[in-house]
Structure 1
Amino acid sequence: MKPSKNIVLIDSSRPIDRDHLLPLGRLRDLPEQIKRAHTVVVTKCPSEMDAADMFLWEQRLKMPAGVEVQFTTLKYADPLPVFPQEADKRYIYSKFAFLLTSIANPRHLRYHLLSFYKISSSLEFRDHHNFSNRDAGKIKRWALKDNKALIMTTEKDAQRLSALVQLPDEVKSRMFYLPVEVAPIGKAGSKL
């Protein structure tokens, strides 16, 4: 089976000319194979990316004529509770946040949160981690270090964390996640 269209996604924080093949990096193919792409999408770009930055990316990629290069950013919505029944929304207005994640690269989320909170502690699990009873104890001990800080996580992690019914209400009440969506930027954004 041959694909009708090859689309390559590149994380803006990991340009292919500065990345390596797995397992040392995140590349699944040789960098020169990008020439087979019909469309390249540079993801997780800063929302304030301008035409000059996009032009520099296009020059850096050296794509043949006719290959579309598009750009996307992450848009975060307002925090939502992981445990709606126990949630105390006053924590959203705290000055301090704990960051709880199990994603490959929490850097973009951290950067966004720093606009609103001082991140006083982070607890990171491996990507796609399935939270267990043992993890609930670890999260509880970690969270109780500062009972005034908001606990922020990702939308993806919130789904798995919501199964940890053994977390105490005092931890559940502070646990929120940020809904995220991908938004196109630039001239080609409407085609995505």
Structure 2
Amino acid sequence: MKRLVGKWLLLPFSGVYGVLMDIRNWLFNSHLLKVFYPSVYTVSVGNLTVGGTGKTPMIELLIIRSLRQVPSQTGQTATLSRGYGRQTTGFRIATDIDTASTIGDEPLQLYRKFTPFIRICVGERRAEAIQSLLVRYPETEQILLDDAFQHRAVQPHLSILLMDYNRPFYDDYPFPAGRLRERRKGARRADIIVVTKCPTDLFATEQQRIVAKIRPYIRSETPIFFAGLQYGQPVSFATRQAVTDVQDVVLVSGLANADPLEQYVRQTFRLIYHHRFADHHAYSRADIDHMLADLPPQTGLLTTEKDWVKLDALLTPTERDSLPLYYLPVAVAFLSGDEQAFTHFLVKSSLKNR
């Protein structure tokens, strides 16, 4: 009850914030604020809501799709994000010496998984970053912008908007009463809507209900797709190979919303305890010492892939090789029929805009 009252008291401030964002969008729409139009095909992945909607798994899906199309070419695709949580500034192209503190946890995750086939870049001024990238690597043919829906200074060729099934934007409000970065009508800029983190058995009638709720805020021609998350086998820190004998686990996560992950772990393993940290948590050696000291015998420490890149950097070689440490890969899994339609739309957009 107290939380509900607090929310209603904050609604006037949400109205003010929403108006300010409306003015900002109007300035960009009217070209009173400068907009950069990239010369190479650019895809934006973002959301209206603060927190995780599955942007990194979506970026990974787009990367894998591009590598399958042209498997022999290296560096044709690049990703660009601001590098949330990094301690550096300016444009930077990831190299082997980079860490989560220099480029951010999610860019480092992408670098470890996809180098040398693509380039991973960070830069808070993305228009300038794109131009710098193309000067250094003019062979670049595709740029994937991570978390760029509100970055109006760059106009992408295709804008993919993600909505968490568990936190629909049509039931939410702008800051501070809600979690929206702008008003719901901002969804009209999207070319594709993907409802993420859906149950795999989501009924068609429920999908239709969600579509009806989204439709008033988007263009009539904008397609809506549904997808869940598919977790892989745990991967060993030591070998980076999948293992199948993990049973008892202590879970470690630094996510905006760890509930779906915890639910999956409870269903798949015997969950002893869950160490929950804030999204993009900067782990310390003290964090590791505390978690390892409390780790029961015959129990593995299980974490996410983006938390792995930070925790792994704090371990000694002996700890990495000897301790039962694992991370869970995760990928986008479209509901029945949607993957083919989604892929068809991507191909059509790419052919139209290249």
Q: Report the TM range for the smaller structure's normalisation.
A: 0.7 to 0.9
Q: Distance in 1 between matches of 2:264 and 2:319?
A: 27
Which runs of structure 2 are paired with 1:73-112 in the superposition (5 Å)?
73-84=228-239, 92=246, 94=247, 96-112=248-264
Post-superposition offset of 1:168:
7.3
Following superposition, the deviation at residue 54 of structure 1 comes to 1.5
Instruction: Report the Cα distance in structure 1 between the residues aligned to 2:172 and 2:293, rounded to whole angstroms.
Output: 37
Residue 75 of structure 1 contacts residue 181 of structure 1 at CA under 8 Å; is this kept in 2? yes
Q: Is the 8 A contact 1:10 1:42 kept in 2?
A: yes
Q: Contact 1:75–1:180 at 8 Å: present in 2 too?
A: yes
Structure 1 residue 142: deviation in Å? 2.7
Aligned to 2:167: 14
SS class of match (2:196): strand
State the Cα RMSD in Å.
Answer: 2.7
User: What are the within-5 Å matches in structure 2 for residues 148-163 of structure 1?
Assistant: 148-163=298-313
Give the fraction of aligned pairs with identical amino acids, expressed as a percent: 26
Q: 1:58 aligns to what SS in structure 2?
A: helix
**Which TM-score applies when normalising by structure 1?**
0.83
Deviations 1:109-156, CA, capped at 9 Å, x for gaps: 11111212232211122211222222222222232xx22222211011
Decide whether aligned partners of structure 1 residues 11 and 35 sit closer, same or farther in structure 2, where only a CA change above 3 A counts.
Answer: same
Look up the SS of the partner of 1:73 in the other structure.
Answer: strand
Q: If each structure's strand is expressed as a fraction of its own residues, which one has the higher value?
A: 1
5+ residue gaps, structure 1, are: none
Task: Mark the runs of 5 or more structure 2 residues left unpaired by the alignment.
Answer: 1-34, 36-154, 344-354
User: Contact conserved, 2:238 with 2:320, CA < 8 A, in 1?
Assistant: no
Which structure has the larger Rg over C-alpha atoms?
2
Whether contact under 8 Å (1:11, 1:44) holds in the other structure is: yes
Equivalent position of 1:44 in the other structure: 197
- The secondary structure found in structure 2 opposite 1:137 is helix
Per residue, is there more helix in 1 or in 2? 2
Aligned residue pairs, count: 186
Higher normalized contact order (CA 8 Å, seq sep 6+, divided by chain length): 1
Residue identity matched to 1:12: Y
From the superposition, tell whether residues 15 and 133 of structure 1 become closer, same or farther in structure 2 (CA, over 3 Å). same
Counterpart contact for 1:91–1:149, Cα < 8 Å: no
Contact between 1:91 and 1:148, CA under 8 Å: does it hold in 2? no
Is the 2:237–2:320 contact (alpha carbons within 8 Å) kept by the matching residues of 1?
no
